[in-house]
Amino acid sequence: MRCPFCSHAETQVVETRESDEGDVVRRRRRCLGCDKRFTTYERAEIAMPVVVKKDGTRADFDPAKLRASMQLALRKRPVSIEQVDAALARIEEKLLTSGARELPSTKMGELVMRELKRIDKVAYVRFASVYRSFEDVDEFRQLIRDI
């Protein structure tokens, strides 16, 4: 860590404390060049991938938009909020562990369909019918047969 006062490259950690929530580490440092003290904060940076849409535009990952699309498919279905939260958490976990900086919207749609198929077959069919934009009834029948 460089000293903000003299730009000396070597500093010594004098004191370390975690925040009450445990998500931030506060460090008091002393510069070995000018002997001045300063504070640094460390926190985890979690970066979700950017969603690349079919037309090539990019949008930041929006968990509220993901929740809204799932809730639309699950409308009037006997699925608890806890089940939806768990499905959303699984999707977000997959996105984080993938390490990808960008994600095609088609891949996002596939992740949502996999989770909907797991928690409610009717919601899965609803979402797939819009997401895959079937051209004819036979494609739709095939989807239902696959379930």
Residue 138: pLDDT above 80? no
- Same domain flag for 86 and 119: yes
Query: Domain for residue 89, yes or no?
Result: yes
pLDDT above 90 covers a percentage of the chain that reads 69
- Same domain flag for 27 and 63: no
Query: Domain for residue 25, yes or no?
Result: yes
Amino acid in the structure at residue 113: M
Cβ neighbors of 1 (< 8 A, separation 6 or more) are 11, 29, 40
- Same domain flag for 69 and 140: yes
Residue 147: pLDDT above 80? no
Query: Domain for residue 119, yes or no?
Result: yes
Over residues 27-76, the pLDDT tens digits come to 999 999 999 999 999 988 778 899 999 899 999 999 999 999 999 999 99
Query: Interhelix angle for 137-146 vs 121-131, to 10°?
Result: 150
- Same domain flag for 56 and 128: yes
- Same domain flag for 132 and 103: yes
Query: Domain for residue 2, yes or no?
Result: no
Residue 100's alpha-carbon distances to 50, 63, 94, 103, in angstroms, are: 9, 17, 10, 7
Residue 77's alpha-carbon distances to 4, 37, 82, 121, in angstroms, are: 57, 59, 14, 10
| Partners of 24 in the β-ladder | 43
- Same domain flag for 78 and 123: yes
- Confidence grade of residue 131 (pLDDT, cut at 50, 70, 90): confident
Domain span at 131:
50-146
Count of all residues that appear for the chain in the document: 147
Query: Domain for residue 6, yes or no?
Result: no
Q: What's the structural domain count of the chain?
A: 2
- Same domain flag for 81 and 109: yes
pTM summary value: 0.64
- Same domain flag for 55 and 39: no
- Same domain flag for 54 and 76: yes
| Partners of 39 in the β-ladder | 28
Cα–Cα distance, 26 to 16 (Å, whole number):
6
- Same domain flag for 66 and 31: no
- Same domain flag for 113 and 66: yes
